Protein backbone atom coordinates (compact mmCIF):
# COMPACT_ATOMS: atom_id res chain seq x y z
CA UNK A 1 0.00 0.00 0.00
CA UNK A 2 1.49 3.32 -1.08
CA UNK A 3 1.68 6.12 1.45
CA UNK A 4 0.92 9.71 0.44
CA UNK A 5 2.11 12.98 1.91
CA UNK A 6 -0.39 15.43 3.33
CA UNK A 7 -0.10 17.57 0.19
CA UNK A 8 -0.76 14.56 -2.03
CA UNK A 9 -3.84 13.65 0.00
CA UNK A 10 -5.18 17.21 -0.30
CA UNK A 11 -4.69 17.18 -4.08
CA UNK A 12 -6.50 13.87 -4.40
CA UNK A 13 -9.41 15.28 -2.43
CA UNK A 14 -9.52 18.28 -4.78
CA UNK A 15 -10.17 15.95 -7.73
CA UNK A 16 -13.62 15.15 -6.35
CA UNK A 17 -14.47 18.85 -5.98
CA UNK A 18 -13.07 19.75 -9.41
CA UNK A 19 -15.18 17.02 -11.02
CA UNK A 20 -18.34 18.81 -9.90
CA UNK A 21 -17.56 21.86 -12.07
CA UNK A 22 -14.83 20.86 -14.59
CA UNK A 23 -13.48 17.79 -16.26
CA UNK A 24 -10.20 17.32 -14.33
CA UNK A 25 -8.61 15.58 -17.35
CA UNK A 26 -10.13 16.99 -20.59
CA UNK A 27 -9.19 15.50 -23.95
CA UNK A 28 -7.78 18.55 -25.78
CA UNK A 29 -7.21 22.29 -25.96
CA UNK A 30 -6.58 24.07 -29.24
CA UNK A 31 -3.59 26.44 -29.15
CA UNK A 32 -2.53 28.92 -31.82
CA UNK A 33 0.90 29.87 -30.41
CA UNK A 34 3.75 27.96 -28.81
CA UNK A 35 4.89 29.43 -25.50
CA UNK A 36 8.29 30.35 -26.94
CA UNK A 37 6.57 32.48 -29.60
CA UNK A 38 4.39 34.62 -27.34
CA UNK A 39 7.17 36.79 -25.92
CA UNK A 40 7.89 38.04 -29.45
CA UNK A 41 4.30 39.17 -30.06
CA UNK A 42 3.38 42.82 -29.95
CA UNK A 43 1.14 44.11 -27.20
CA UNK A 44 -2.57 44.04 -27.96
CA UNK A 45 -2.66 40.75 -29.89
CA UNK A 46 -6.07 39.26 -29.07
CA UNK A 47 -7.36 35.69 -28.97
CA UNK A 48 -3.95 34.25 -28.05
CA UNK A 49 -4.45 30.60 -27.09
CA UNK A 50 -1.64 28.94 -25.12
CA UNK A 51 -1.28 26.03 -22.72
CA UNK A 52 1.32 24.69 -20.32
CA UNK A 53 2.20 23.52 -16.84
CA UNK A 54 1.98 26.04 -14.00
CA UNK A 55 5.43 26.38 -12.43
CA UNK A 56 4.98 29.63 -10.50
CA UNK A 57 1.85 31.19 -9.06
CA UNK A 58 0.95 34.24 -6.98
CA UNK A 59 -2.71 34.17 -5.94
CA UNK A 60 -3.98 37.52 -4.72
CA UNK A 61 -7.32 39.18 -3.97
CA UNK A 62 -8.67 40.14 -7.38
CA UNK A 63 -5.62 39.62 -9.58
CA UNK A 64 -3.30 36.61 -9.78
CA UNK A 65 -0.17 35.94 -11.78
CA UNK A 66 1.16 32.58 -12.85
CA UNK A 67 3.86 31.26 -15.17
CA UNK A 68 3.24 28.33 -17.50
CA UNK A 69 6.05 26.39 -19.12
CA UNK A 70 6.88 23.68 -21.64
CA UNK A 71 10.23 22.31 -22.76
CA UNK A 72 11.03 25.27 -25.05
CA UNK A 73 9.51 28.30 -23.37
CA UNK A 74 7.40 29.95 -20.71
CA UNK A 75 5.06 32.92 -20.42
CA UNK A 76 3.42 34.84 -17.62
CA UNK A 77 -0.38 34.79 -17.34
CA UNK A 78 -2.55 37.29 -15.47
CA UNK A 79 -5.97 36.19 -14.24
CA UNK A 80 -8.29 38.99 -13.13
CA UNK A 81 -11.64 38.58 -11.41
CA UNK A 82 -13.24 41.31 -13.57
CA UNK A 83 -12.44 39.41 -16.78
CA UNK A 84 -13.23 35.79 -15.91
CA UNK A 85 -15.98 36.36 -13.40
CA UNK A 86 -16.22 36.07 -9.65
CA UNK A 87 -17.29 32.42 -9.54
CA UNK A 88 -14.57 31.14 -11.87
CA UNK A 89 -11.93 33.23 -10.11
CA UNK A 90 -12.99 31.65 -6.81
CA UNK A 91 -12.69 28.18 -8.37
CA UNK A 92 -9.27 29.06 -9.74
CA UNK A 93 -8.01 30.07 -6.30
CA UNK A 94 -9.52 26.99 -4.65
CA UNK A 95 -8.68 24.23 -7.13
CA UNK A 96 -5.61 25.21 -9.17
CA UNK A 97 -2.13 24.36 -7.86
CA UNK A 98 1.45 24.69 -9.04
CA UNK A 99 2.15 21.69 -11.28
CA UNK A 100 -1.33 21.65 -12.85
CA UNK A 101 -1.92 22.20 -16.56
CA UNK A 102 -3.98 25.11 -17.83
CA UNK A 103 -5.10 26.55 -21.15
CA UNK A 104 -5.59 30.28 -21.55
CA UNK A 105 -7.29 32.56 -24.08
CA UNK A 106 -6.38 36.23 -23.85
CA UNK A 107 -4.54 39.35 -25.02
CA UNK A 108 -0.83 40.18 -24.86
CA UNK A 109 0.53 43.10 -22.87
CA UNK A 110 3.77 44.05 -21.12
CA UNK A 111 3.84 44.69 -17.39
CA UNK A 112 5.51 47.74 -15.84
CA UNK A 113 8.47 45.46 -15.00
CA UNK A 114 8.88 44.67 -18.71
CA UNK A 115 7.54 41.10 -18.71
CA UNK A 116 5.46 39.92 -21.65
CA UNK A 117 2.16 38.60 -20.31
CA UNK A 118 -1.12 37.15 -21.56
CA UNK A 119 -4.14 38.74 -19.87
CA UNK A 120 -6.63 35.88 -19.59
CA UNK A 121 -10.15 36.45 -20.89
CA UNK A 122 -10.83 32.82 -20.00
CA UNK A 123 -8.98 29.69 -18.92
CA UNK A 124 -9.56 25.94 -19.14
CA UNK A 125 -8.32 23.48 -16.54
CA UNK A 126 -6.28 20.81 -18.37
CA UNK A 127 -5.02 18.40 -15.73
CA UNK A 128 -4.35 18.01 -12.01
CA UNK A 129 -0.88 17.14 -10.74
CA UNK A 130 -1.35 14.75 -7.81
CA UNK A 131 2.27 15.15 -6.73
CA UNK A 132 3.49 18.68 -5.92
CA UNK A 133 6.62 19.96 -7.58
CA UNK A 134 9.57 20.21 -5.19
CA UNK A 135 10.36 23.69 -3.99
CA UNK A 136 14.05 23.04 -4.62
CA UNK A 137 14.93 20.15 -6.93
CA UNK A 138 18.45 21.15 -7.92
CA UNK A 139 21.22 21.47 -5.48
CA UNK A 140 20.25 17.99 -4.34
CA UNK A 141 23.15 15.99 -2.97
CA UNK A 142 21.50 12.79 -4.22
CA UNK A 143 22.40 13.00 -7.90
CA UNK A 144 20.71 9.64 -8.49
CA UNK A 145 17.36 11.30 -7.80
CA UNK A 146 17.92 13.53 -10.82
CA UNK A 147 18.47 10.48 -13.07
CA UNK A 148 15.53 8.57 -11.57
CA UNK A 149 13.14 11.52 -11.77
CA UNK A 150 14.03 13.10 -15.10
CA UNK A 151 10.53 14.58 -15.67
CA UNK A 152 10.96 16.75 -12.57
CA UNK A 153 14.53 17.56 -13.64
CA UNK A 154 13.23 18.85 -16.97
CA UNK A 155 10.48 20.88 -15.32
CA UNK A 156 12.69 22.49 -12.68
CA UNK A 157 16.10 22.76 -14.30
CA UNK A 158 16.66 25.11 -17.24
CA UNK A 159 20.14 23.67 -17.84
CA UNK A 160 18.65 20.18 -18.30
CA UNK A 161 16.06 21.49 -20.75
CA UNK A 162 18.73 23.27 -22.79
CA UNK A 163 20.97 20.19 -22.75
CA UNK A 164 18.33 17.85 -24.17
CA UNK A 165 17.16 20.40 -26.72
CA UNK A 166 20.79 20.72 -27.84
CA UNK A 167 21.00 16.95 -28.19
CA UNK A 168 17.91 16.93 -30.42
CA UNK A 169 19.29 19.77 -32.53
CA UNK A 170 22.67 18.03 -32.87
CA UNK A 171 21.03 14.86 -34.20
CA UNK A 172 18.84 16.87 -36.57
CA UNK A 173 21.78 18.88 -37.91
CA UNK A 174 23.87 15.73 -38.44
CA UNK A 175 20.98 14.00 -40.17
CA UNK A 176 20.50 17.00 -42.48
CA UNK A 177 24.22 17.11 -43.28
CA UNK A 178 24.32 13.42 -44.17
CA UNK A 179 21.13 13.59 -46.22
CA UNK A 180 22.47 16.60 -48.12
CA UNK A 181 25.67 14.67 -48.90
CA UNK A 182 23.95 11.68 -50.47
CA UNK A 183 23.66 9.38 -47.45
CA UNK A 184 20.48 7.34 -47.02
CA UNK A 185 19.16 6.47 -43.56
CA UNK A 186 18.20 2.82 -43.06
CA UNK A 187 17.37 0.55 -40.11
CA UNK A 188 19.07 -2.68 -39.06
CA UNK A 189 17.99 -5.33 -36.51
CA UNK A 190 18.59 -4.96 -32.78
CA UNK A 191 18.13 -8.71 -32.19
CA UNK A 192 21.02 -10.61 -33.79
CA UNK A 193 21.92 -14.26 -34.15
CA UNK A 194 25.59 -13.38 -33.72
CA UNK A 195 27.18 -10.72 -31.46
CA UNK A 196 29.14 -9.01 -34.23
CA UNK A 197 30.17 -5.57 -35.39
CA UNK A 198 32.63 -4.65 -32.63
CA UNK A 199 34.92 -6.04 -29.94
CA UNK A 200 32.62 -6.10 -26.90
CA UNK A 201 30.82 -8.39 -24.48
CA UNK A 202 27.19 -8.82 -25.62
CA UNK A 203 23.83 -8.96 -23.89
CA UNK A 204 22.05 -12.26 -24.39
CA UNK A 205 18.30 -12.83 -24.58
CA UNK A 206 15.84 -15.53 -25.66
CA UNK A 207 13.24 -15.48 -28.43
CA UNK A 208 10.29 -17.50 -27.14
CA UNK A 209 8.44 -17.93 -30.45
CA UNK A 210 11.52 -19.23 -32.29
CA UNK A 211 12.98 -20.83 -29.14
CA UNK A 212 16.47 -19.54 -29.88
CA UNK A 213 19.00 -17.45 -27.99
CA UNK A 214 19.75 -14.07 -29.51
CA UNK A 215 22.05 -11.12 -28.78
CA UNK A 216 21.28 -7.44 -28.51
CA UNK A 217 23.09 -5.47 -31.18
CA UNK A 218 26.67 -4.51 -30.30
CA UNK A 219 26.89 -2.39 -33.47
CA UNK A 220 24.96 -2.17 -36.76
CA UNK A 221 28.13 -2.56 -38.81
CA UNK A 222 27.72 -5.90 -40.54
CA UNK A 223 24.14 -5.17 -41.57
CA UNK A 224 24.95 -1.71 -42.89
CA UNK A 225 27.68 -3.36 -44.98
CA UNK A 226 25.13 -5.88 -46.26
CA UNK A 227 23.17 -2.87 -47.55
CA UNK A 228 26.28 -1.78 -49.47
CA UNK A 229 26.47 -5.30 -50.95
CA UNK A 230 22.84 -4.85 -52.00
CA UNK A 231 23.58 -1.68 -53.97
CA UNK A 232 23.38 1.24 -51.54
CA UNK A 233 26.45 3.46 -51.89
CA UNK A 234 26.08 5.64 -48.77
CA UNK A 235 24.08 4.55 -45.71
CA UNK A 236 23.78 5.55 -42.07
CA UNK A 237 21.80 4.70 -38.94
CA UNK A 238 21.25 6.24 -35.52
CA UNK A 239 21.41 2.89 -33.75
CA UNK A 240 20.68 1.96 -30.16
CA UNK A 241 23.54 -0.39 -29.20
CA UNK A 242 24.16 -2.63 -26.19
CA UNK A 243 27.46 -3.76 -24.64
CA UNK A 244 27.44 -5.74 -21.40
CA UNK A 245 30.49 -4.07 -19.92
CA UNK A 246 31.44 -1.81 -17.03
CA UNK A 247 29.78 1.51 -16.19
CA UNK A 248 31.63 4.72 -15.49
CA UNK A 249 31.21 8.44 -16.12
CA UNK A 250 31.75 8.04 -19.87
CA UNK A 251 30.36 4.54 -20.56
CA UNK A 252 26.85 3.09 -20.52
CA UNK A 253 25.76 -0.40 -21.54
CA UNK A 254 23.02 0.95 -23.80
CA UNK A 255 23.88 3.95 -25.91
CA UNK A 256 23.21 5.71 -29.20
CA UNK A 257 25.71 5.13 -31.98
CA UNK A 258 25.67 6.85 -35.36
CA UNK A 259 27.28 4.63 -37.99
CA UNK A 260 27.75 5.37 -41.67
CA UNK A 261 29.36 3.60 -44.63
CA UNK A 262 30.33 4.87 -48.07
CA UNK A 263 31.31 2.83 -51.10
CA UNK A 264 34.43 3.77 -53.09
CA UNK A 265 35.89 5.76 -50.17
CA UNK A 266 38.88 5.17 -47.87
CA UNK A 267 39.53 6.23 -44.27
CA UNK A 268 41.37 9.38 -45.31
CA UNK A 269 38.31 10.52 -47.25
CA UNK A 270 36.29 10.13 -44.08
CA UNK A 271 38.82 11.95 -41.91
CA UNK A 272 38.17 14.96 -44.11
CA UNK A 273 34.41 14.42 -44.44
CA UNK A 274 33.75 13.92 -40.73
CA UNK A 275 35.94 16.84 -39.69
CA UNK A 276 33.92 19.10 -41.99
CA UNK A 277 30.65 17.58 -40.76
CA UNK A 278 31.45 18.19 -37.09
CA UNK A 279 32.75 21.67 -37.79
CA UNK A 280 29.56 22.53 -39.70
CA UNK A 281 27.24 21.10 -37.04
CA UNK A 282 29.09 22.66 -34.09
CA UNK A 283 29.10 26.04 -35.83
CA UNK A 284 25.33 25.72 -36.31
CA UNK A 285 24.89 24.86 -32.63
CA UNK A 286 27.18 27.43 -31.03
CA UNK A 287 28.08 29.99 -33.69
CA UNK A 288 31.79 29.34 -33.05
CA UNK A 289 34.36 26.55 -33.32
CA UNK A 290 36.15 27.62 -30.14
CA UNK A 291 34.35 25.43 -27.63
CA UNK A 292 34.82 25.34 -23.86
CA UNK A 293 35.57 21.75 -22.87
CA UNK A 294 36.31 20.87 -19.24
CA UNK A 295 37.38 24.42 -18.48
CA UNK A 296 39.69 24.77 -21.48
CA UNK A 297 39.03 26.42 -24.80
CA UNK A 298 39.44 23.87 -27.60
CA UNK A 299 39.74 25.22 -31.14
CA UNK A 300 37.98 22.87 -33.57
CA UNK A 301 38.69 24.95 -36.66
CA UNK A 302 41.13 24.19 -39.45
CA UNK A 303 42.94 20.88 -39.98
CA UNK A 304 43.25 18.43 -37.07
CA UNK A 305 46.47 16.76 -35.89
CA UNK A 306 47.12 13.12 -36.76
CA UNK A 307 49.33 10.75 -34.73
CA UNK A 308 49.99 6.98 -34.92
CA UNK A 309 48.90 4.55 -32.22
CA UNK A 310 52.56 3.60 -31.65
CA UNK A 311 53.79 7.18 -31.33
CA UNK A 312 51.01 8.21 -28.96
CA UNK A 313 51.74 5.34 -26.56
CA UNK A 314 55.49 6.03 -26.77
CA UNK A 315 54.81 9.66 -25.91
CA UNK A 316 53.53 8.66 -22.47
CA UNK A 317 55.33 5.39 -21.63
CA UNK A 318 58.52 3.57 -22.75
CA UNK A 319 56.72 0.76 -24.64
CA UNK A 320 57.13 0.48 -28.39
CA UNK A 321 54.34 -1.78 -29.69
CA UNK A 322 56.35 -2.36 -32.87
CA UNK A 323 59.00 -4.06 -30.70
CA UNK A 324 56.70 -5.67 -28.13
CA UNK A 325 54.52 -7.13 -30.85
CA UNK A 326 53.26 -10.32 -29.21
CA UNK A 327 50.90 -10.79 -26.30
CA UNK A 328 53.56 -12.37 -24.10
CA UNK A 329 56.20 -9.73 -24.79
CA UNK A 330 53.78 -6.86 -24.26
CA UNK A 331 52.29 -8.32 -21.07
CA UNK A 332 55.76 -8.86 -19.56
CA UNK A 333 56.78 -5.29 -20.47
CA UNK A 334 53.63 -3.85 -18.88
CA UNK A 335 54.41 -5.76 -15.67
CA UNK A 336 58.05 -4.68 -15.83
CA UNK A 337 56.99 -1.02 -16.08
CA UNK A 338 54.54 -1.58 -13.18
CA UNK A 339 51.62 -0.19 -15.19
CA UNK A 340 48.36 -0.97 -13.39
CA UNK A 341 45.63 -1.62 -15.95
CA UNK A 342 41.99 -1.94 -14.93
CA UNK A 343 40.26 -4.57 -17.04
CA UNK A 344 37.15 -6.66 -16.43
CA UNK A 345 38.87 -9.48 -18.31
CA UNK A 346 42.16 -10.66 -16.77
CA UNK A 347 45.10 -9.35 -18.80
CA UNK A 348 46.34 -12.90 -19.33
CA UNK A 349 43.06 -13.72 -21.14
CA UNK A 350 43.16 -10.74 -23.51
CA UNK A 351 44.42 -11.06 -27.06
CA UNK A 352 47.30 -8.88 -28.22
CA UNK A 353 45.04 -6.27 -29.80
CA UNK A 354 42.86 -5.79 -26.75
CA UNK A 355 45.95 -5.68 -24.54
CA UNK A 356 47.40 -2.85 -26.65
CA UNK A 357 44.05 -1.06 -26.43
CA UNK A 358 43.97 -1.35 -22.63
CA UNK A 359 47.54 0.02 -22.44
CA UNK A 360 46.63 2.99 -24.66
CA UNK A 361 43.50 3.78 -22.61
CA UNK A 362 45.52 3.70 -19.40
CA UNK A 363 48.66 5.65 -20.28
CA UNK A 364 47.86 7.84 -23.30
CA UNK A 365 44.22 8.62 -24.00
CA UNK A 366 43.54 10.66 -20.82
CA UNK A 367 46.26 13.14 -21.86
CA UNK A 368 44.82 13.93 -25.31
CA UNK A 369 42.91 17.22 -25.38
CA UNK A 370 42.70 17.28 -29.13
CA UNK A 371 41.13 17.22 -31.54
CA UNK A 372 43.54 14.45 -32.62
CA UNK A 373 43.17 11.70 -35.22
CA UNK A 374 44.72 8.48 -33.88
CA UNK A 375 45.88 6.21 -36.74
CA UNK A 376 47.75 2.97 -37.58
CA UNK A 377 46.02 0.62 -35.15
CA UNK A 378 47.38 -2.93 -34.81
CA UNK A 379 45.49 -5.37 -37.00
CA UNK A 380 44.64 -7.57 -33.98
CA UNK A 381 42.63 -4.66 -32.60
CA UNK A 382 40.63 -4.20 -35.81
CA UNK A 383 39.22 -7.50 -37.13
CA UNK A 384 36.86 -5.76 -39.55
CA UNK A 385 39.33 -3.15 -40.86
CA UNK A 386 41.40 -3.24 -44.04
CA UNK A 387 45.10 -3.96 -43.64
CA UNK A 388 47.47 -1.25 -44.80
CA UNK A 389 49.04 -2.09 -48.18
CA UNK A 390 52.56 -1.13 -47.07
CA UNK A 391 52.43 -2.63 -43.56
CA UNK A 392 49.88 -5.45 -43.23
CA UNK A 393 50.30 -5.49 -39.42
CA UNK A 394 48.61 -2.07 -39.28
CA UNK A 395 45.12 -1.08 -40.38
CA UNK A 396 43.76 1.84 -42.35
CA UNK A 397 41.86 3.18 -39.38
CA UNK A 398 41.46 6.32 -37.30
CA UNK A 399 39.82 7.44 -34.10
CA UNK A 400 39.01 11.03 -33.21
CA UNK A 401 40.06 11.88 -29.65
CA UNK A 402 38.90 15.06 -27.92
CA UNK A 403 39.54 15.69 -24.22
CA UNK A 404 40.48 12.06 -23.59
CA UNK A 405 37.27 10.72 -25.13
CA UNK A 406 36.94 8.63 -28.27
CA UNK A 407 34.37 10.47 -30.38
CA UNK A 408 34.75 8.73 -33.76
CA UNK A 409 36.01 5.30 -34.75
CA UNK A 410 36.49 4.80 -38.49
CA UNK A 411 38.36 2.74 -41.03
CA UNK A 412 38.74 1.50 -44.55
CA UNK A 413 36.71 -1.69 -44.40
CA UNK A 414 37.96 -5.17 -45.03
CA UNK A 415 36.08 -6.35 -48.13
CA UNK A 416 38.06 -9.54 -48.87
CA UNK A 417 35.78 -12.39 -47.62
CA UNK A 418 38.60 -14.93 -47.41
CA UNK A 419 40.77 -12.65 -45.27
CA UNK A 420 37.72 -11.74 -43.17
CA UNK A 421 37.01 -15.41 -42.52
CA UNK A 422 40.61 -15.97 -41.36
CA UNK A 423 40.42 -13.03 -38.95
CA UNK A 424 37.09 -14.09 -37.50
CA UNK A 425 38.41 -17.61 -37.00
CA UNK A 426 41.32 -16.11 -35.05
CA UNK A 427 38.85 -14.00 -33.03
CA UNK A 428 36.79 -17.12 -32.29
CA UNK A 429 39.92 -18.82 -30.93
CA UNK A 430 40.55 -15.86 -28.63
CA UNK A 431 36.90 -16.01 -27.55
CA UNK A 432 37.24 -19.68 -26.67
CA UNK A 433 40.46 -18.91 -24.76
CA UNK A 434 38.61 -16.49 -22.45
CA UNK A 435 38.65 -13.10 -24.21
CA UNK A 436 34.99 -12.11 -23.72
CA UNK A 437 35.36 -9.06 -25.97
CA UNK A 438 36.62 -11.04 -28.98
CA UNK A 439 34.25 -11.57 -31.91
CA UNK A 440 32.60 -14.80 -32.99
CA UNK A 441 32.55 -16.46 -36.39
CA UNK A 442 29.66 -15.06 -38.46
CA UNK A 443 29.22 -17.25 -41.54
CA UNK A 444 26.13 -15.34 -42.69
CA UNK A 445 28.17 -12.16 -42.92
CA UNK A 446 31.02 -13.95 -44.73
CA UNK A 447 28.54 -15.32 -47.28
CA UNK A 448 27.11 -11.81 -47.78
CA UNK A 449 30.64 -10.56 -48.43
CA UNK A 450 31.15 -13.34 -50.97
CA UNK A 451 28.43 -11.81 -53.13
CA UNK A 452 30.96 -9.03 -53.70
CA UNK A 453 31.87 -5.76 -51.97
CA UNK A 454 33.24 -2.52 -53.44
CA UNK A 455 35.87 -0.51 -51.54
CA UNK A 456 34.16 0.83 -48.41
CA UNK A 457 35.01 3.20 -45.58
CA UNK A 458 32.83 3.36 -42.48
CA UNK A 459 32.65 5.23 -39.19
CA UNK A 460 30.85 5.32 -35.87
CA UNK A 461 30.17 8.28 -33.57
CA UNK A 462 29.03 7.89 -29.97
CA UNK A 463 26.23 10.45 -29.80
CA UNK A 464 25.92 10.38 -26.00
CA UNK A 465 29.64 10.96 -25.57
CA UNK A 466 29.68 13.76 -28.16
CA UNK A 467 26.84 15.55 -26.34
CA UNK A 468 28.61 14.98 -23.02
CA UNK A 469 31.72 16.60 -24.44
CA UNK A 470 29.91 19.59 -25.93
CA UNK A 471 27.85 20.28 -22.80
CA UNK A 472 30.70 19.79 -20.30
CA UNK A 473 28.86 17.13 -18.31
CA UNK A 474 30.86 15.10 -15.81
CA UNK A 475 28.64 12.04 -16.18
CA UNK A 476 27.27 10.58 -19.41
CA UNK A 477 23.96 9.94 -17.61
CA UNK A 478 23.45 13.71 -17.66
CA UNK A 479 22.89 13.59 -21.44
CA UNK A 480 20.78 10.41 -21.56
CA UNK A 481 17.22 11.35 -20.78
CA UNK A 482 16.25 8.12 -19.05
CA UNK A 483 19.41 6.20 -18.04
CA UNK A 484 18.99 2.67 -16.71
CA UNK A 485 19.08 2.60 -12.90
CA UNK A 486 19.03 -0.17 -10.35
CA UNK A 487 15.49 -0.44 -8.90
CA UNK A 488 15.03 1.25 -5.55
CA UNK A 489 13.95 -2.01 -3.90
Instruction: Tell me the mean pLDDT in the region 112-128.
Output: 97
Q: Is residue 238 over pLDDT 70?
A: yes
Q: Is residue 404 over pLDDT 90?
A: no
Percent of the chain with pLDDT over 70: 99
CA 130/CA 121 separation, integer angstroms: 27
For 324, the 3-state DSSP assignment is coil
Q: Is residue 350 over pLDDT 90?
A: no
Q: Which residue has the higher pLDDT, 441 or 128?
A: 128
Q: Which residue has the higher pLDDT, 92 or 439?
A: 92
DSSP secondary structure string for all residues of 403-428: TTEEEEEEEEBP--HHHHHHHHHHHH
CA 78/CA 57 separation, integer angstroms: 10
Confidence of residue 399 (pLDDT cuts 50, 70, 90): very high
Asked which of 21-30, 90-99, 155-164, 351-360 is least confident by mean pLDDT, the reply is 351-360
What domains sit in the chain, N to C, each tagged with a CATH number? 6-127 (2.40.50.140), 156-479 (3.30.930.10)
Beta bridge partners of 171: none
For 453, the 3-state DSSP assignment is coil
What's the pLDDT score for residue 329? Answer: 92
What's the pLDDT score for residue 463? Answer: 97
Q: Is residue 294 over pLDDT 90?
A: no
pLDDT tens per residue across span 206-233: 999 999 999 999 999 999 999 999 999 9
pLDDT tens per residue across span 7-53: 999 999 999 999 999 999 999 999 999 999 999 999 999 999 999 99
Task: Report the predicted TM-score, pTM, of the whole model to 2 decimal places.
Answer: 0.89
What's the pLDDT score for residue 144? Answer: 85
CA 479/CA 466 separation, integer angstroms: 10
By the 8 A CB rule, do 463 and 238 touch? yes
Q: Is residue 197 over pLDDT 90?
A: no
Average pLDDT for the chain: 92
Phi, psi of 391 (to 5 degrees): -135, 95
211 torsion bin: left (phi>0), alpha (psi -120 to 50), beta (else): left
Supply the DSSP symbol for 394.
Answer: B
Asked which of 73-82, 87-96, 333-342, 449-458 is least confident by mean pLDDT, the reply is 333-342
Q: Output helix, strand, coil percentages for the chain, rounded to the nearest 5.
A: 35, 25, 40
Amino acid sequence: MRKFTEQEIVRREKIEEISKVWNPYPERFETNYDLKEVRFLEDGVKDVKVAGRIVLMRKMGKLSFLTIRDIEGQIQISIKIDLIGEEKYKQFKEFVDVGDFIGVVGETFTTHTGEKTVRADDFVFLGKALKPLPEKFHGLTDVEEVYRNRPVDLIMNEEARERFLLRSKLIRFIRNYLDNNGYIEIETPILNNKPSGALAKPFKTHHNALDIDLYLRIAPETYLKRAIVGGFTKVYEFARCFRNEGMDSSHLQDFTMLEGYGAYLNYKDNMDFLRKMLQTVIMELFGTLKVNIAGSEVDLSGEWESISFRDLILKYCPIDINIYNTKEMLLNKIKEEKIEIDSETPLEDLGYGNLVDQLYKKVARPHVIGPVFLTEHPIDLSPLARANDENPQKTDRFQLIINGAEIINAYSELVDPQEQEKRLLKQAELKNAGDEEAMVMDIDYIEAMEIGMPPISGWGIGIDRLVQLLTNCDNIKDVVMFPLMRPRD
